[in-house]
Structure 1
Amino acid sequence: MAEVSAEARIEAPAGKVWAQLTDFSSHGEWNATHTGFPEGGPATLEKGAVYEENMKLMGFPAEVTWTVDELERGRLLTTGGKGPMGVALVMRYSLAPSPDGEATTVRIEGEFTGAAVSMMGGKLKDSATAALQESLRKLDGLVTP
């Protein structure tokens, strides 16, 4: 198993960050691993929604089928995915507004399991962590004036 995480404070209200995070038409503008949605992302963002995503991690393309496992609008999105070579993924996006509501702490956590993951070990963790950090920088750039 490989677990990764990244966190950033974004100087924008949680509603604005959430709107960008869940706007699947602009996912490629901030998500460093995203290369496309064959079907355009989920038709409706709701618990149980299933969608496919094309990704690139460690230079390798991957097709992942995601299911929305948890959804608390404006605060939490957790998806579970099935990728190539029996790899299972979990991605958790959580938002915490500052007391004054003018900024948001965004945390992304990922978990990768499966036989292929144990072979890639540290390289996968390093690559995925860097991708999460880059994604948060890009997300910040899109929502911060």
Structure 2
Amino acid sequence: MAEVTAESRIEASAAKVWAQLTDWAAYGEWSMTHTNFPGGGPETLAVGATFAENMKMMGFPAEVAWTVSELEDERLFAITGKGPMGVAILTRYTLIPDGAATTVRIDGEFNGAAVSLMAGKLKDSASAALNESLRKLAGLVA
């Protein structure tokens, strides 16, 4: 298993960050791993909703079939997915209001036989992508 975490204080309300985080058409403006949603993001944001995403991880294209696994408006959004080579992925976005700002934390987990072969490189690549994604997200909502 490989686990990654990135966290940043963004000078915007949780509502504003949440609106950007769940704007599927604008995902590519901030997410460093996102390529596209072949069928669009989830039609309705609810636990159990499914959608597909084309991504780029460590420079390689990957299609992930996601399911929304946890949801609390303006607070928590988690998705679990199946990627190539049987890799299971969890991505969790947590928003913590802090006055006029919001602390945004992204946690990622990767599981599967292929992960053990490249866990170190995957962690480094994913950490860099998450930190840059948070920087770009902050620029869009500030």
Normalised-by-shorter TM-score class: over 0.9
Query: Which residue of 110, 114, 117 maps to 1:116?
Result: 114
Name the SS of the counterpart of 1:42 in structure 2.
coil
Amino acid at match of 2:109: E
In structure 2, what is the Cα distance between the partners aligned to 1:79 and 1:92? 6
State the number of aligned residues. 142
After the TM superposition, list the runs of 4 or more consecutive aligned residues in structure 1 that deviate by more than 3 angstroms: none
Q: Which runs of 5+ in 2 are unaligned?
A: none
Out of 105, 108, 111, which is 1:107 matched to? 105
User: Following TM superposition, by how much is the alpha carbon of 1:55 offset from its aligned partner in structure 2, in angstroms?
Assistant: 0.2
Corresponding position: 1:45 with 2:54: no
Counterpart code for 1:121:
A
Counterpart Cα distance in 1 of 2:81 and 2:133: 19
Q: 2 CA distance for matches of 1:37 and 1:8?
A: 25
Q: Shift in Å at residue 121 of structure 1?
A: 1.3
**Structure 1 counterpart of 2:6:** 6
Instruction: Tell me the residue number matched to 2:33.
Output: 33
Report the RMSD for the aligned CA atoms in angstroms: 0.4
The sequence identity of aligned pairs, in percent, is: 70
- TM-score under structure 2 normalisation? 0.99
Unmatched runs of 5 consecutive residues or more in structure 1: none
Distance 2:96 2:41 in 1: 25
Specify the SS of the correspondent of 2:74: coil
C-alpha deviations, 1:88-112, integer Å up to 9, x for none? 00000000001x2x00000000000
Are 2:133 and 1:143 equivalent residues in the alignment?
no
